[in-house]
């Protein structure tokens, strides 16, 4: 199996502060990975190391290259969409498309124009004439039109309305993703991406708190919703987390006996957001 990203003991320190702590990570080709964590958890530092934007300790290979020493070659096969689109304000859209075409051999003008047709952006407009959301749309169209083996998305739909966010993720699946490419997504809007993810990585305090496939999530974890009079019986089965919603107690379990749980109430597969909250709470309790 070809690994797009492989890290062993990956660490990053800023003075006394250690942002990333001895991470081991393997991402195969053809996966869509959600890198999820609270603010300050180490997501951005890990991404910067993967993209060759920051030094690091430990071993790190991205598409078979060392990002620190071979960044120029790596960037021919990697695309990055940051949470803030920075484009020259004076340039016209058609000029920016032409410039990108000259700078990147894997750029497709046809694909870029296809994405732009789904927006209200006109080619003769200058970037400074576009709204914040339209600038993000333009940036996404430019990057999505590049034939890259690894696409790194850091809060890619920040500032976009819900209609275009859904359009973006539809395009991502239908027009971009295939078994030869991999995508890493970091976002706080996990509800919008959980249906497209193949793998989950939770990071907290610079450490990996969870690393598993979405298939494994469905197999390992379940939520039990019970009435108040069944809460004590549910607690006796060692849940990872408990919350109360409209008078019902909801418990999250890892590798529990589902037949025993079903006798107490309703079983559900937890959402990524609920699993994230439970995992973070567990990590804080263990600290």
What are the residue boundaries of the structural domains of the chain, listed by start?
3-205, 216-286
- Determine which of 79-88, 152-161, 206-215 has the lowest per-residue pLDDT on average: 79-88
Residues 244-264 have pLDDT tens digits of 988 899 999 999 999 999 999
DSSP string, 171-204: HIIIII--TT-EEEEE-S-HHHHTTT-SEEEEEE
- Distance CA(213)–CA(199), nearest Å, equals 4
Q: Is pLDDT above 80 for 84? A: no
Residues 21-42 have pLDDT tens digits of 999 999 999 999 999 998 888 9
Residues 110-139 have pLDDT tens digits of 999 999 998 999 999 999 999 888 888 898
Q: With left for phi above 0 and alpha for psi between -120 and 50, is residue 122 left, alpha or beta?
A: beta
Q: What is the pLDDT of residue 286?
A: 56
Say if domain 3-205 classifies as CATH 3.40.50.300: yes
């Amino acid at each position: 199996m070809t690994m797009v990203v492989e890290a062993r003991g990956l660490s990053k320190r800023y003075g006394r502060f250690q942002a990333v702590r001895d991470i081991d990570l393997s991402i195969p080709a053809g996966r869509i990975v959600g890198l999820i964590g609270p603010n300050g958890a180490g997501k951005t530092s890990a991404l910067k190391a993967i993209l060759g934007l920051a030094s690091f300790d430990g071993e790190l290979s991205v598409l078979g290259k060392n990002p620190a020493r071979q960044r120029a070659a790596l960037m021919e096969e990697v695309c990055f969409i940051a949470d803030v689109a920075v484009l020259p304000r004076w340039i016209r859209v058609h000029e920016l498309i032409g410039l990108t075409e000259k700078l990147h051999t894997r750029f497709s003008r046809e694909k870029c124009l296809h994405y732009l047709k789904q927006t209200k952006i006109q080619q003769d407009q200058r970037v400074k004439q576009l709204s914040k959301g339209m600038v993000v749309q333009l940036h996404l169209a430019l990057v999505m039109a590049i034939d890259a083996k690894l696409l790194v998305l850091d809060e890619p739909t920040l500032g976009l309305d819900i209609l275009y966010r859904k359009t973006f993720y539809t395009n991502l699946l239908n027009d971009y993703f295939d078994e030869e490419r991999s995508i890493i997504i970091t976002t706080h809007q996990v509800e919008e991406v959980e249906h497209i993810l193949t793998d989950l990585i939770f990071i907290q305090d610079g450490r990996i708190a969870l690393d598993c496939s979405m298939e494994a999530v469905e197999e390992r974890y379940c939520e039990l919703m019970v009435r108040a009079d069944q809460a004590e019986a549910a607690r006796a089965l060692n849940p990872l987390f408990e919350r109360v919603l409209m008078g019902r107690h909801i418990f999250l379990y890892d590798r529990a006996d589902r037949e025993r749980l079903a006798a107490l109430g309703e079983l559900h597969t937890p959402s990524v957001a609920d699993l994230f909250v439970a995992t973070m709470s567990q990590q804080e309790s263990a600290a």
